Amino acid sequence: MLPCCDQGMAPSACPMAAVAEVRSLFLRRSACLATGLLIGFLVILTAAPAAGALTPQQAERAHALSLRLKCMCGGCDDTAGTCNHSGGAFAGPCATAQAELKEIDQRISRGESDDLILQDFVQEYGPSVLVSPPAKGFDWLVWVMPIVLPLLAFGLVWALVRRWRHRATLQPATVAGPPVSDELIARARREAEKEPDE
């Protein structure tokens, strides 16, 4: 019991009772606030990974996209999904590939389309970020040349061989060497006639 209550004062008039009541109210409100903050903090912690987590279909889509983009670290020529620096104290995807993969995951979780994601990467890094260039504009030559050049080369070789064979059948065979005078031919005939007699 409070000392003022011992003196016969009404609890409402006692200053100590008022202080005790305020302290009790403050402690109850503080406890409610702390409990609310704790619950809110736990909700945020449990909801944050769920918001960033991808469904299996989204994860598969993110992996497919990561195979269409190059790792732009400059130390490898791998895709962002297959970047793997081995040896030394560090092994695994580099920081650049990890950042690209994280950005792909975030964009897919926001519901962006594959084309939009690829277009944004091209705007950020340039067309060299794409593993295979788009088949339009000047880049279509990259797709056409591996087929067209061997066909053109085969056609050229075939035409040259045909021309050489045709030219060889039209020209008569000629004896190579300097011209021989009539005197030498006559002398060779006389000597040839003398040899069987001997």
4-59 pLDDT per residue, tens: 555 555 555 566 666 667 677 667 777 777 787 778 777 776 654 444 577 888 88
Residue predicted with more confidence, 28 or 64: 64
Q: Where do the structural domains in the chain lie, given as residue ranges?
A: 3-52, 56-132, 135-165
8: left (phi over 0), alpha (psi -120 to 50) or beta: left
How far apart are the C-alpha atoms of 154 and 71, rounded to whole Å?
38
54: which DSSP letter?
A: P
* pLDDT over 90, % of the chain: 10
pLDDT, tens digit, for every residue of 123-153? 988 888 888 877 677 777 777 888 889 999 9
Q: Look at residue 100 and tell me whether its pLDDT is greater than 50.
A: yes
Q: What is the per-residue pLDDT for 23?
A: 73
Question: pTM score, two decimals?
Answer: 0.47
Q: What dotted CATH number matches 56-132? A: 1.10.8.640
